[in-house]
Amino acid sequence: MATASLLISLIIFAADGVTEGTIQQYRYAEKLFESGDYQAARLEYKRLLFYRPDTEFKDIADYRIAQSYYYQNQPERAEHLFREFLVVHPNSDFRLRSQLMIGQLHFDAGKYSLARTTLFELLHSSADTDVMAAAHYLRGWCYVYTTDWDKAIAELRRVDTPQTDTPHQKNARQLADTLLEQTPLLHKSPQIAGWLSTVVPGSGQFYVGRVKEGVLAAVLGGTFIYLVADAIRERRYVDCAGISLIGWQFYWGNRINAQRFASEYNSHRERELIEALKKSSGR
């Protein structure tokens, strides 16, 4: 593939001359990029920069090269090139998009706070409405993944584009409406679950919908209470102490498990909502 593209580019240069050849070389690289053949496109952009280092397409070629690494799942290399782009091309129209891509890379890595900060700086230095819309949209998703629903809604509401009712804007509007309708989520309090199981073993598990675990905890708790009472009644105090020691471990574990089940219930509800939002947005 690379050999064939090299032959084509050499033929173009020889036939059309320097200026036309440069344009054709650039168009060919763009065509490869748009087709998803990022490695071949990257080679073409690099070849263009090698033969025409002062070409008017230098900034977009550098930007596309960085993008190609991103789309080929090489985030570290892509981030390095996007940061380098900001230094090499401070006045380029693609500078803001490079900063946006850095925010996207932080988001992909799960560094949501860092992504929000990067995008916040971008929003205060950009007048490009498309870039600003994308930045607000991505910041909205950062808040979604950190379950800060109100801030996510606020960011998604700020998504705006020059043309009304574009798919991107409709997507943000739909996500914001869904969040507004379904949040705040019905959560189970770990503190309440813990105290319930402290007073009546197993009741905290029932509270969070873990019926089997609740029945088991209630049975074990009742059994130990019966054994302790029976040992006291028969004045078997040594047995009572041993049973109480073992029973205390089950009793305290019952409280901790109730709290853990409540936290797991909340996390499960949050994950369900996030997955539903991802599915509806096509992410």
What is the average pLDDT value for the chain, to the nearest integer? 85
Kindly state whether residue 71 falls inside one of the protein's structural domains: yes
Q: Which residue has the higher pLDDT, 281 or 243?
A: 281
CATH number for the domain including 31?
Answer: 1.25.40
- Number of domains composing the chain: 3
**Structural domain includes residue 106:** no
Check residues 128 and 105 and name the one with the higher pLDDT.
105
Rounded distance between C-alpha atoms, residue 208 and residue 265, angstroms? 7
> Which of 60, 92, 124 is where one domain is finished?
92
pLDDT tens figures, 271-281: 999 999 998 88
Q: How confident is the model at residue 239 (pLDDT cuts 50, 70, 90)?
A: low
- Pair 180, 213 in one domain: no
In a domain, 249, yes or no: yes
Instruction: State pLDDT tens for residues 48-94.
Output: 999 888 888 999 999 999 999 999 999 999 999 999 999 999 999 89
> Which one is predicted more confidently, 212 or 247?
212
pLDDT tens-digit profile of 211-231?
Answer: 888 888 778 777 767 666 766
- The more confident residue out of 7 and 215 is 215
160 inside domain:
yes
Q: Do 135 and 53 sit in the same domain of this protein?
A: no
Q: Is the pTM value of this prediction over 0.85?
A: no
Q: Is residue 97 part of a domain?
A: no
Range of the domain at 152: 112-184
Q: What angle do CA 16, 20, 24 make, to 5 degrees?
A: 95
In the prediction, which pLDDT does 216 show? Answer: 83
